[in-house]
Amino acid sequence: MEALLAHGPFAEFALLLIISAVVGAIAVSLRQPMLISYIVVGILLGPAVFGPVNAADPIHLLAEIGVAVLLFVVGLKLDLAHIRNIGPVALATGLGQLTFTIIFGFALTLLMGKSAMEAIYIAVALTFSSTIIIVKLLSDKQELDSLHGRMQWAS
């Protein structure tokens, strides 16, 4: 694997794609969301754990493009009339989820030994990422039109 990675960012992208495809196929066969398997692959292959992928700038650019595309796809399905119909319930649910995620993320980050300012940033980032992940999972399961899907979607 060392020889493969000596070829630069393109080889690292190829390695990421191959391993992500294999792990994604395993996740689908186990009836698990592919999105979660991709996140796990990214964590494991990144510099924080096993570290075979080190091209930080190209990978960071790819990650930003991926998030932008995901937000765009989620935005395409946004129905404002639908949001108006379930507004009060969605607002209460959304505020509850935000509050819980911020408190839980803040406490967990503090327990990991980070400063209060770092904990605030991480907690707020968790609220955005969790909402997008949940909407994507509901979309994959075709449950966006269910009651719990509509409430999450609007919040």
Burial of 91 (0-12, 13-18, 19+ CB in 10 A): middle
When pLDDT is averaged across residues 43-65 and rounded to a whole number, the result is 76
Q: What is the pTM of this model?
A: 0.48
Residue with the bigger pLDDT between 22 and 130: it is: 22
Residues 6+ apart with CB under 8 A from 71: 132
Q: Are 45 and 16 in contact (CB under 8 A)?
A: yes
Question: What pLDDT digit, counting tens, does each position of 84-135 carry?
Answer: 776 677 677 778 888 888 999 999 999 999 999 999 988 888 877 656 666 6
Closest to 98 (Cα-Cα) out of 123, 134, 68: 123
